[in-house]
Structure 1
Amino acid sequence: MTPPVGLISLATAQPPHELPQAEVARAAGEIFRDRFPQFERMAPVFETTGIRTRQSAMPMEWYLEPRGWPERMEAYTTAAVDLFARVAQAALDEADLTGAEIDLIVTVSSTGIATPSLEARAMETMGFRPDAARVPVFGLGCAGGATGLALAARLAAAQPGARVLLVALELCTLSFRMDAPSKADIVATALFGDGAAACVLRAGEDGFAQVEGAAEHTWPGTLDIMGWRVDPQGLGVIFAQAIPPFARQRLRPAMDSMLAGQGLCVEQVDRFVCHPGGTKVVEALESALDLGQGALDHEREVLADHGNMSAPTVLYVLDRARRAGLPRRSVMTALGPGFTASTVTLSAA
């Protein structure tokens, strides 16, 4: 990427309500046992996800009552704006900047609809300038952390000197549904949590890492693998194909192609920083990239502590990796609706 773009700061934040996995499993059993005949056969998914606890925008009791679009989006707007402000402020503090010094804000979120968008609703609280550019992005799903970082870096490179704030925020739990549950709904109940991550970028050599490049690969004919269905009651999750075997079989050729476009190969990557969609996805990534079983340790830790938070999750992994000490070259990667693999190549400062 020319000019080079520095990652100046990185922060994470969670909503206040803790959801221990054992409690979620018990509640799910009470809710779904009579509604979904196959629940008992699927119940072990709550143990095999590798999740110990998650965080949610609302207390558990809120999810036990029927909810429609107005209630879900009211909860999204209220909780998301608060979480946006907290995580953005943490990223600004680490960068030793104020909101007034940010020139452009990229907001990535696919779990709620807010117009005006989140950064507009937080502008006065954050002290953003009236002339700050806003780029809200919807629809990236679990790939949003990597794709959002790539987009923010491209925007920073296009305007040297500009300070770009990226916020990736998802409240996945608000999509929880009790009506006409499917296998995908049970898996989502076992996997998804809420969270946010933010970082500041600026063209130049400073920061704890520099963005060297970025690439994406979208497989033809895969629109149905992952996404949302839009129903009268709210968003419903779509998992039409098993993602772990898809990743195990088809990620490596795509990764080879994406890296080749940057003059690199897998063997030149010191550390892959991956979105942990679930334990089986993590194992599939290790297999596809020839990393060795257990290599994606930070991924497993984030999954255990927070669940799959969609877009911000890979940035949580990057935060743990940088605190442990980033190697010379890392590649962030995440899979999301499309079906798309997104990568960002980073060099340590």
Structure 2
Amino acid sequence: MPAPIHLLSLATADAPHEMTQSDVVEVARVLFTERFPGFDRMLPVFDTAGIRARQAAMPLDWYLKPRGWPERTEAYLDVAVDMFARAAEAALAEAQLKGADVDVIVTVSSTGIATPGLEARAMARLGFRPDAARIPVFGLGCAGGATGLALASKLAQATPGAVVLLVVVELCTLSFRMEDLTKADIVATALFGDGAAACVMRCGEGGFASIEATGEHTWPDTLSIMGWRVDPTGFGVIFDRAIPPFARDNLRPAMIGILKRQTLGLDDVDRFICHPGGMKVIDALEGSLSLDQGSLDHERGVLADHGNMSAPTALYVLDRARRGGLPDRSVLTALGPGFTLSTVSLRAAA
């Protein structure tokens, strides 16, 4: 039987600029009322989003001017590299390791383009070895925290003793735009924040949890539910309004199938740790998994304090859950472009 993969540490790094939801509402009102017919009818989405504050890559006034690919990319590279480094430094410090101890670096990010990748740009600051394997991953979207954790664990399993560092960085707010607005862009403005998270893992002992199993389920003919559209000014968000009802109707059978392949059932899971895509999504998850209303409390807390940061958000929730004390078995879940459910089953350290 393969040795278990242990999560030695988990750390988060907030974006540098705080935005309250009330400030965002006032700016959005000024910017969008004349540019988007019927904007007033969409204002309630800012109130019902369940968000008090978010952190952003750039100060609020940066978003008040039209921006193209070069400016958005410059901001992404500058801020994302720093957030990558801060999250990685904190995770390595908790694991009592240094950059030179890392054998494999998995970088997950879908909100900007960096070639060389973020990990290459942060190598000198973090002291990574020249022979460290670099694995940048693009395109996972909101599922990136769970799928990245699954991928990193498989790499650790394949190389017993290797120290694997996972870093997830998303700067969703850089997609905010004033031109060519869609309803999805307005919803994104009400929901998105920026953040980063990192964790260290390896075969053996120690840490706060071990990874028991991973699983995915991709539904056919669902490419249009979530993703990016690419246009001359940058990434534009694709959000289907049917995401909450789709999750309510389809998540449960997919989850049952994933757990069955792990010889588990829903009743074997003590706590689901979910990516909080929005308040309606959280409600749909509770309904689909037959959880008591309000069970996903850490999810609501992270959403309120940080917004939807895409991939790192599930790891923010995991961090809150582990600080509160993980139950024996929990399952980290996230929904992302594809449309895909990604899961990681965790056992708490004895």
Q: State TM-score, norm by structure 2.
A: 0.99
The match for 1:255 is 255
The code of the aligned residue for 2:91 comes to: A
Q: Write the letter of the residue equivalent to 1:23.
A: D
Quote how far apart the aligned CAs of 1:186 are.
0.3
**Residue 200 (structure 1) aligns with:** 200
State the alpha-carbon separation in 2 of the partners of residues 266 and 40 from structure 1. Answer: 42
SS at match of 2:205: coil
Q: Look up the match of 1:115.
A: 115
Matched, 1:219 2:224: no
- What is the match of residue 89 of structure 1? 89
- In 1: Cα distance, 2:254 partner to 2:84 partner: 33
Identify the residue that residue 290 of structure 1 maps to in structure 2.
Answer: 290
Deviation track 1:25-81 (CA, whole Å, cap 9, x = no partner) reads 110011110011121111000010000000001000000001000000000000000
- Give the structure 2 partner of residue 303 of structure 1: 303
What RMSD, in angstroms, separates the aligned Cα atoms of the two structures? 0.7
* 2:59 aligned partner: 59
Name the CA distance, whole Å, in 1 between partners of 2:205 and 2:103: 19
For structure 2, the residue ranges without an aligned partner over 5 or more in a row are none
List per-residue Cα deviations over 1:163-191 (Å, max 9, x = no partner): 00000110000000110211000000000
CA distance in 1, matches of 2:206, 2:213: 16
In 1, Cα distance between equivalents of 2:336 and 2:96 = 33
Deviation at 1:2, TM superposition (A): 2.6
Task: Give the residue type in structure 2 aligned to 1:161.
Answer: G
Matched, 1:188 2:188: yes
Q: Once the two structures are superposed, what CA deviation does each residue of 1:6-38 show, in whole Å capped at 9, x if it has no partner? A: 000000011110010000011001111001112
1:264 maps to 264
Mapped partners of 2:38, 2:242: distance in 1: 18
State the match for 1:318 in structure 2: 318
Report SS of the residue matched to 2:309: coil
Structure 1 residue 293 displacement after superposition: 0.2
* CA–CA distance in structure 2, aligned partners of residues 15 and 52 of structure 1: 16
Q: How many residues align?
A: 349
Shift of 1:241: 4.2
Q: What letter is aligned with 1:142?
A: C
Please list the CA deviations of residues 297-322 of structure 1 after superposition, one character each: whole Å capped at 9, or x if unmatched.
Answer: 00000000000000000000000000
1:38 aligned partner, one-letter code: G
Offset at residue 97 of structure 1 (A): 0.3
Partner-residue secondary structure (3-state), 2:26: helix
TM-score normalized by the length of structure 1: 0.99
Moved over 4 A (4+): none
5+ unaligned residues in a row in structure 1: which ranges?
none
Structure 1 counterpart of 2:170: 170
Pairwise CA distance, 1:335: 0.1
Structure 2 equivalent of residue 159 of structure 1: 159
Measure, in 2, the Cα distance between the counterparts of 1:158 and 1:241: 40
Indicate whether 1:149 and 2:149 are aligned: yes
1:205-243 Cα shifts (integer Å, max 9, x gaps): 321000000000000000000000000000000013421
Q: Tell me by how many angstroms 1:204 deviates.
A: 1.5
Distance 2:270 2:240 in 1: 33
How far apart in 1 are the matches of 2:30 and 2:3? 56
Q: Secondary structure of the equivalent of 1:283?
A: helix
Task: Look up the match of 2:236.
Answer: 236
2:101 and 2:24 map into 1 onto residues whose CA distance is 42
Residue 73 (structure 2) aligns with: 73
